[in-house]
Amino acid sequence: MTLRTLLVLGDGLPRQLERLSPRVEVVHAGPPGAASLAEELPGADVLLVWDFTSDAVRDAWPAGDAPVPAWVHTASAGVDRLIFPGLVDSPSVLTNARGVFEQPIAEYVAGWVLAMAKDFPGTWRLQQRHDWRHRETMRVAGSRAVVVGSGPIGRACGVTLAALGVGVELVGRTGRDGDPDFGRVHAADALSGLLPGADWVVCAAPLTDSTRGMFDAAAFGRMKSSARFVNVGRGPLVVTADLVEALTAGRIAGAALDVFESEPLAADDPLWDVPGLLVSPHMSADTFGWRDALAEQFLDNFERWSAGRPLLNVVDKRLGYVPVG
Amino acid sequence: MTLRTLLVLGDGLPRQLERLSPRVEVVHAGPPGAASLAEELPGADVLLVWDFTSDAVRDAWPAGDAPVPAWVHTASAGVDRLIFPGLVDSPSVLTNARGVFEQPIAEYVAGWVLAMAKDFPGTWRLQQRHDWRHRETMRVAGSRAVVVGSGPIGRACGVTLAALGVGVELVGRTGRDGDPDFGRVHAADALSGLLPGADWVVCAAPLTDSTRGMFDAAAFGRMKSSARFVNVGRGPLVVTADLVEALTAGRIAGAALDVFESEPLAADDPLWDVPGLLVSPHMSADTFGWRDALAEQFLDNFERWSAGRPLLNVVDKRLGYVPVG
């Protein structure tokens, strides 16, 4: 299969991608310029969505029966910004960056769990005040976590927490037994029954119509007052106002968010100052070299595409993620 | 064996210890009152050092051939304050709290490693300033740690870090092969050769004449400029001025201390403000219920003593710790 055009949305591409230049015409449509994207999309065989933070693709997608790229790849794990009717209903194959982010995110979540268990934020506040104050803190081994999201990121979070001695219950869209790591994976409708037993509730779910707003007042109301909530999925999985209310009223003990309904947070956003809330600027996945890893992953898939072999990480556009196992 | 007197140094004993009252005369010598301790010591069969932070025992220990307690138990892992000539040369059996603190300390160290790798302190400073600033951080899996101390605490630290994918080299007093968890345990004289390869240097050694001041300018000089140092052993294992100099000059990237040459740190101690230094008030081991666990451990050993069975956790007074395996 020969490529006419590789259309790239986004700036700051790693040098590796220059390797493609002799073989295909590379057209850049970033920083987000919906105008040129709209003009170029119908003539492109492949769209590489390097900047996955904008809605430019949705805005520029060809209407009706106009030609569309045969393959769309996004340099992200979440594909929520690409799951719109035009693309879903089109013949475009959609792939994502599954495989790059799992381990870093799992480490970030484990770090947060340990940091909250040991009250590191409190210790650092006390250090700023030169205040030596011994406290007793929580043992992590033997505590219990519910991880929501049975894709690679949720699984990696669960495996890493289990390595620290945490008892992990994994929740996916559908339940299943005989999972090699977790034994049983719970169905989504089991979540409310699991929440009261959790010391840690970790959200690593994809953002879809059925997960949007799943962490709301009712969910926080079922958690223990000592529970902590972590979100490394997408901001709109959480009803932020309900989380703030739960923290402010002491209904749960703490939370850590790496994703938000609107990013970046504005300097005057009240979330920065909510008691017990750790704010992190959507960086849990981004370890040194992550851009190189994303580039290599795209190049590998590009070789498959060029050779007519099946692509890796093909998203089920109806589900909104890459089905696992 | 019948007990005449159980002498207790320290306040705030858990209720479990009241169980002993009908069986022995319990005499309290705390809060640290060296006078009464000196009077009571010669008549006591057992000394329970509940407050292990003072030098009262050393100061009050009977001179010459005066009678001494047959058994001294300290509610701590480190026994450095009890390794003085009078006690070492006496027939007193010394036991410690091995078994209570390993897992909590290992979790604390793992939490610090993850927190420093992910720059949580930087993120929390930025949160205080309402500053959304994405950064790339370090992957922990695949990094390398040198853990100094091959006793239970060092081993637990090593096992927990290894569970996160860290390559761990364990250093003890003497080297040995065929260790079930680490394969090879390195001898102390191998340390300087291992330091240049370490991303993390974890000090969990006992404080003895041969370990005092082992982390000095020469040791910090052999570490990578990206390395971070962690001390959960005892403060005097480190030449604090040398550590401060290494941090200030950027010779190493960071450090986290839970123990200090003098505790508690005074409010005007310059250590509070050293860049890249995390100060924690000697609490890494102290998870909820730790006092109960210490009391139960002493009671178990007390039953052994009363029944004439061998005590657990007998310290080799010449080595300064409980020999392992």
Query: Are A120 and A131 members of one domain?
Result: yes
- By residue range, what is the domain housing residue B174? 102-279
Q: Is B201 helix (H, G, I), strand (E, B) or coil?
A: strand
Pick the catalytic residue from B18, B39, B263, B303: B263
Q: Tens of pLDDT along A178-191?
A: 999 999 999 999 99
Q: What's the mean pLDDT in B3-21?
A: 84
Q: Could you say which residues from 63 to 102 on chain A have a Cβ atom under 8 Å away from some Cβ of chain B? A: none
User: Is B312 within a domain?
Assistant: no
Bridge partner residues of B171 (DSSP)? B148, B186
Q: What value does the mean pLDDT take over residues B120-127? A: 98
**B30 inside domain:** yes
Residues B294 and B170 in one domain: no
Give the pLDDT confidence score for residue B30 in this predicted structure. Answer: 63
Strand spans (E) along chain A? 5-9, 25-28, 46-49, 71-74, 93-95, 144-148, 167-171, 176-179, 183-186, 200-203, 228-231, 254-257, 277-279
Cα(B145)–Cα(B116) distance, integer angstroms? 13
- How far apart, in Å, are the Cα atoms of A83 and each of A37, A55, A66, A93, A262? 18, 11, 18, 12, 18
Is 0.90 topped by the overall pTM?
yes
Report d(CA A241, CA A228) in Å as an integer: 16
Is a pLDDT exceeding 70 seen at residue B325? no
- B118 at A interface, C-beta within 8 A: yes
Render pLDDT for B244-268 as a digit per residue (tens, 0 to 9).
Answer: 999 999 999 999 999 999 999 999 9
Write out chain A residues lying below 8 Å of B123, CB-based: 278-281, 283
Chain A contact for B54 (CB, 8 A cutoff): no
Average pLDDT over every residue of B196-222 = 97
- List the structure tokens of B51: 């407050």
Q: What is the pLDDT of residue A216?
A: 98
Judge whether residue A94 has pLDDT over 70. yes
B61–chain A nearest CA distance, Å = 29
Q: Is the pLDDT of residue A55 over 80?
A: yes
Which residues of chain A make contact with B290, given a CB cutoff of 8 A? 136
Per DSSP, the residues of B249-271 read TTSSSEEEES--SSSSPPTT-GG
Judgement on whether residues A121 and A200 belong to the same structural domain of the protein: yes
* Cα of B69 to nearest chain A Cα, Å: 31
The residue in chain A having the minimum alpha-carbon distance to the alpha carbon of residue B132 is A281
Q: For chain A, how long is the longest CA-to-CA vector?
A: 69
Amino acid (one-letter) located at A99: G
In a domain, B246, yes or no: yes
What is the pLDDT averaged over residues B100-116? 97
Model confidence at B4: pLDDT above 80: no
Q: What's the gap in Å between the CA of B266 and the closest CA on chain A?
A: 8
- Residue A34 — very low, low, confident or very high, per pLDDT cuts 50/70/90? very low
Cα–Cα distance between B155 and A210 in angstroms, integer? 46
Regarding whether B260 and B132 lie in a shared domain, the answer is yes
User: Looking at beta carbons, which residues of chain A come within 8 Å of B267?
Assistant: 130-132
Residues A64 and A146 in one domain: no
Please report which helix (H) or strand (E) contains residue B74, including its range.
strand B71-74
For chain B, how many structural domains are there in total? 2
Cis omega (within 30 of 0) on the bond before A14?
A: no
> Is there a single domain that holds both residue A171 and residue A294?
no
Long-range CB contact pairs, A164-167, < 8 A, 24+ = A164/A110, A164/A113, A164/A114, A164/A140, A164/B107, A164/B110, A164/B160, A164/B163, A165/A140, A165/A141, A165/B103, A166/A113, A166/A140, A166/A141, A166/A142, A166/A200, A167/A142, A167/A143
- The domain that contains A85 carries what CATH number? 3.40.50.720
Q: How far apart are CA B273 and CA A308, in angstroms?
A: 60
Reported ipTM exceeds the 0.90 cut: yes
* B265, B279 contact by CB (below 8 A): yes
What share of chain A in percent tops pLDDT 90?
A: 84
**CA A187 from centroid of its chain's CA atoms:** 20
Contact residues, chain A, for B279 at CB < 8 Å: 123, 127
Asked if B135 reaches chain A (Cβ–Cβ under 8 Å), the answer is yes
User: Has B263 been annotated as catalytic?
Assistant: yes
**pLDDT score, position B246:** 98
Secondary-structure percent of chain B, ordered helix, strand, coil, rounded to 5: 35, 20, 45
Is residue A35 scored above 60 in pLDDT?
no
Q: Does residue A325 fall inside a structural domain?
A: no
Q: Once rounded to an integer, what is the mean pLDDT over residues A61-71?
A: 93
Confidence of residue B34 (pLDDT cuts 50, 70, 90): very low
Please tell me whether residues B205 and B299 are part of one structural domain. Answer: no
How far apart are alpha carbons A264 and B133 in whole angstroms?
9
Residue B296 in domain? yes
Task: Give the three-state DSSP class for B277.
Answer: strand
Which residues in A lie closer than 8 A to residue B103 (C-beta atoms)? 139, 141, 165
| Residue A30: pLDDT band with limits 50, 70, 90 | low
Does B203 contact chain A (CB < 8 Å)? no
CA–CA distances in Å: residue A309 to residues A5, A96, A184, A293, A306: 19, 17, 34, 21, 8
B72 has pLDDT over 90: yes
A217 near B CB under 8 A:
no
Q: Which of B144, B212, B282, B291 is catalytic?
A: B282
Residue B197 lies in a domain: yes
- A118 inside 8 A of chain B by CB: yes
Mean model confidence pLDDT for chain A = 94
Clarify whether residues A109 and A252 are in a common domain.
yes
Whether B193 maps to a domain, the answer reads yes
pLDDT higher than 90, residue B26: no
The pLDDT, as a whole number, for residue B101 is: 96
- The answer to whether residues B246 and B208 belong to one domain is yes
Distance of alpha carbon B94 from alpha carbon B77, whole angstroms: 12
Q: Quote the tokens at residue A311.
A: 């692509």
C-alpha dihedral (B67, B69, B74, B79), degrees to nearest 10: 40
Give the tens place of pLDDT for each residue, B147-185. 999 999 999 999 999 999 999 999 999 999 999 999 999
* Burial grade of A261 (CB within 10 A; 0-12, 13-18, 19 or more): middle
Q: For chain B, say whether A26 makes contact (Cβ under 8 Å).
A: no
Instruction: Choose the closest CB to B288 out of A126, A136, A267.
Output: A136
**Residues A182, A195: one domain?**
yes
- pLDDT > 90? residue A12: no
What residues of A act catalytically? 234, 263, 282
Q: Can you tell me the mean pLDDT for A287-316?
A: 95
* CA–CA distance, B101 with A170 (Å, rounded to integer): 30
| A to B CB pairs, distance under 8 Å | 144
Buried b (16+ CB within 10 A) or exposed e, A185-210: bbebebbeebbeebbbbbbbbbbbee
Of A103, A111, A112, the CB nearest to B141: A103
Q: Which percentage of chain B shows pLDDT scores above 90?
A: 84
Alpha carbon distance A177, A185 (integer Å): 6
Pairing type for strands A176-179 and A183-186 reads antiparallel
Mean pLDDT within A257-286: 97
Tokens describing residue B90: 């006496």
Q: Do A287 and B133 touch (CB under 8 A)?
A: no
Residue B314, in any domain of the structure: no
B93 CA to chain A: closest CA distance, Å?
A: 30
- Region for residue A22 given its phi and psi (left: phi exceeds 0; alpha: psi -120 to 50; beta: otherwise): alpha
Which whole number is the average pLDDT over B107-122? Answer: 98
* Residue A107 pLDDT greater than 50, yes or no: yes
Question: Is B12 near chain A, with CB under 8 Å?
Answer: no
Q: Which two tokens stand for residue A141?
A: 């081994």
A31 pLDDT tier (thresholds 50, 70, 90): low
End-to-end CA distance of chain B: 29
**Shared domain check, A139 and A192:** yes
Q: In this structure, which amino acid lies at residue B260?
A: F
Instruction: Write the pLDDT tens digit of every residue in A124-149.
Output: 999 999 999 999 999 999 999 999 99
Four-point Cα dihedral A192, A198, A204, A207, nearest 10: 20
User: Do A216 and A262 have their domain in common?
Assistant: yes
Q: What was the pLDDT predicted at B16?
A: 87
Rounded to the nearest angstrom, the minimum Cα separation between A33 and chain B is 23
Which of helix, strand or coil describes residue A314?
strand
| Measured CA angle at A12 (ends A6, A16), to 5 deg | 60
Whether residue A162 contacts residue B160, with contact meaning beta carbons closer than 8 Å, is answered with no
Rounded Cα distance, A241 and A262, in Å = 13
Predicted local confidence at residue B272, as pLDDT? 98
